[in-house]
Chains A and B, each alone.
Chain A
Amino acid sequence: MNIIEIEGLTYTYPGAETPILDHVNLQVEKGDFLAIVGNNGCGKSTLCKTLNGLIPHFITGEFSGRVLVDGVNTLEADVGALAKKAGYVYQDFENQIVRPTVLDDASYACLNYAMADYEKRGKEALALCGLEGWEQDYVWSLSGGQTHLLALAGAVSLGPEVLILDEPIAQLDPGHADRIYGVLKELNEKHGKTILVIEHHTEYIADYCKHVVLMRDGKIAWKLPANEALRRVGELRESNIFPPQVTLAADGLRRRGALPWEQALPTTVEEGKAAFSPLSYRENPVPPEAAPRREEEPAVEFRGVSVSYRSVKGEPRKIFAGLDLTIRRGDKVALIGSNGAGKSTLMKLMVGLLKPSEGEIFLNGDSIHRKRTEDLSRQISLVYQNPEQMFIQDSIRADVSFAMKARGVKDYQRRTRQLLERFRLEDLAERDGRLLSGGQMRRASLAIGVALDPGILLLDEPTANLDIATRREIMKTLEDMKEITGTVMIATHDMQLVCQWAQRIVVLKNGRVVADGTRDQIFGDRALLEEVGIRPPEIFSMGQALDKRALCYTVEEFLDSFGEGA
């Protein structure tokens, strides 16, 4: 039985000239777990909003064709009735939460639709989403992953057959991401819900989804079983979707002649074990990593630093207690750890935005306690996780030149031009930063961050919330920047970025440095990975599954290690 039937759907946003959805036809079976993939702006989110009636009831525009959800024509039902058929979780889910306590928010919609058992429904939804025991907590005490689960519970409480999630794990660390998908899997398998996700992480698609729809320019290119879909390496790449690393590696091996052409490409590590079994590991031709240089002078030093946040109730929450850490000049450090481990706090301490309650922080040998924040900014610069908060002027050009102008840098106009050119922002220079796409915003924020030519650059989650293609672009930019910046520290969940970019990795857990070393030292330590909940890139796990000696961090390294054939 089809729970969703879309026939000849064409939709144009008000004021737009070309339709964003163009004669879309799609059937989704009841109980499916469907991933929708496609380029930015290909109409994925728009398509999903036609399913819960927001389009055309709330967002008008030119609408033609027919959309049936659970047998109901969306044109004939109102948004309220459709909310009980299809639940929706936004990408910026925190803006979807409107009530102060967890249970209140989960049951809010049920109360609004006058369901007598609204509290019971809220509680059940919370239990389904793994938030049992949090009912009376305040929403701002939840972690990012829990907030997402709450947004999901709010949708589940109405008992819809279809659940739609727009990029559910874009902002989450792997531990939380696994939990979200675990919950979705249970809703799908045990409770028979049909699940639609807009997703860029093909590893998750391979592990959880049953079908994949590829959208291209407002049309459905194809709908295929997940395995088959992920094997279409070429087509996916054309749409800026990157297949799982295992699949890419198999494709590469095929091209090198190490695997037969007719063999079906594996999509998960499990499948990879079988497919790659004839291959043998060859000692990595790349020389082992040089030991990190220790002779350089310290750029930043933490000595016995403690810091705590005020809490709404009770004792202040301690983030760090007696933290010691030294960052040396020229270090390219990745700071990793789960959400709430203290990564952002550490960066805020370094730029003087937070003051430690105990201990001292030294910047290039001087204690920052006695310096003004404004004076520090020539030596150290912080690029926020949310680039929007860095746009304080009405154009990118003004934002880039702001700090130089304020400090009377003589040739600031020439330097601004150079920066705009370097970060490929010339065409966007006069636009307001907020109106740019995710990748452009991120590039602009990097340009702002390096404007004063600081010796130390701190980047908070530079690749979060980006699709894979944009992420690659930012990674390339970071790679290019290696020459112009001295010391760089990146706080991130993105292990591919860590493996490709970092020369030193610092692992934080509960405000302590639990590990500090090269990628071989960190990722080679299974007990540590287990303890902190870090997941190495898939290709690394693949190599490990084949041979314990193999430490491959990128697909290329994997090909070099295993590509010589049997």
Chain B
Amino acid sequence: MELGTKTKKKLSESVLDKFSMDFLRNQVLKNAYGNDDTVIAKLDPRVLIAWYLFFGLAPWFVNDLWFLMASFLLVVATTLLAKVAGLVLLVFALGVFSQTGYLLLVSLLFGGNGDTVAPLLVLTLKVATCSLASVTVFSGLDPDKLSCGLMWFGCPERLSFSISYAYRVLPMLMEEFQNILLSFRLRGNPPIREGFVGSVKYLWYQIKTVMHAFYPLMLNTAKRSRTTVEALEIRGYRNAAVDKTVKKMKLAALKVSYNDLLFLAVSLLWIALAVLASTLA
């Protein structure tokens, strides 16, 4: 018994340890830039965005189980190829479960039959396919390529700059936030985590701390951004936003390669097979 509580305590401790700001920061970076050598990351962003438009939308309009199954398997494969960071997958799993997965589980547990399970399965597949397709594109591509692709489709320069800049400052912000939280931790005095009431009090204290930490974070960020704003001005950010040639130069780097065509061809073939199977069945 004692051993059991000990391992339990150790387990919860190690989970808490892992789920630190440091871990989050690392996952964000990993997600954005840690997988730039995968097959998916090397594809042309325009091809990938077009591909995404299909797999993000088509499942909503089709109820054929074969097609949905095939699409789902395909996006699972691409997600694996993109080597998406663990945290993103966890968020995905939680998201799907909270949307429809729990209904599926409940109906299975309480003796649901094929009639109730099938529609729920279809819905779950739809949600999962479309989410995984997004995960593949938005987390498999590095933010710069993604924003270049979006720019080609006519998104304003400011949006695409914001995406890539957000990824540049996010790690810095998280580090700053981490340090401020550490200040609270070193100087604060949280309630002792014992029993149910203690745990609740402790949790409430942690939530309050995170909220309090935002105020210094915002002020420190504001102080930092003064330099960034001036530097952007010197480095021609405003010029780029209005100059058409700059946009052309940025997009010139995009090229559709043999691999892109192969990727599209494989996807197409797979879906075609599924449709064929569905008509034959």
Contacts and interface: CB of A to CB of B under 8 A. Distances in A.
A319 to B, nearest CB: 13
B213 A392 contact: yes
A114 B238 CA distance: 12
B219 A434 contact: yes
Interface stretch (A24-32, A247-255, A333-341, A399-407): A399-407
Contacts, number: 147
B164 A100 contact: yes
B26 A112 contact: no
Contacts of B143: 100
Interface in A71-106: 79-80, 83, 88, 90, 92, 94-100, 104
Interface centre among B216, B219, B225, B235 (most CB of A within 10 A): B235
A319 B142 CA distance: 28
B216 A391 contact: yes
Contacts of B189: 374, 403, 406-408
B220 A389 contact: yes
B82 to A, nearest CB: 15
Interface residues on B, range: 35 or more
Decide if the interface of chain B is mainly helix, strand, loop or mixed: helix
Interface in B210-237: 212-213, 215-216, 219-220, 223-225, 227-228, 230-237
Interface residues of A, number: 60
B184 interface: yes
Contacts of B212: 392
A439 B270 CA distance: 67
Contacts of B215: 394
B3 interface: no
Contact of B230 (A58, A80, A389, A390): A58
B216 A310 contact: no
B221 to A, nearest CB: 10
Contacts of A99: 144, 164, 168
B188 A312 contact: no
B245 interface: yes
Contacts of A381: 186
The 4 A-B residue pairs whose C-beta atoms are closest, nearest first, are A112-B236, A403-B187, A112-B240, A406-B189
24 contacts: A59-B230, A79-B233, A88-B234, A95-B227, A96-B227, A98-B232, A99-B144, A100-B167, A104-B144, A109-B235, A111-B240, A111-B249, A113-B240, A310-B26, A313-B34, A353-B185, A389-B179, A392-B187, A402-B188, A406-B187, A434-B216, A434-B219, A434-B220, A434-B223
Interface of A: 52, 54, 58-59, 79-80, 83, 88, 90, 92, 94-100, 104, 108-109, 111-114, 116, 118, 138-140, 154, 310-313, 351, 353, 355, 373-374, 377, 381-382, 384, 386, 388-392, 394, 402-403, 406-408, 432, 434, 448, 451-452
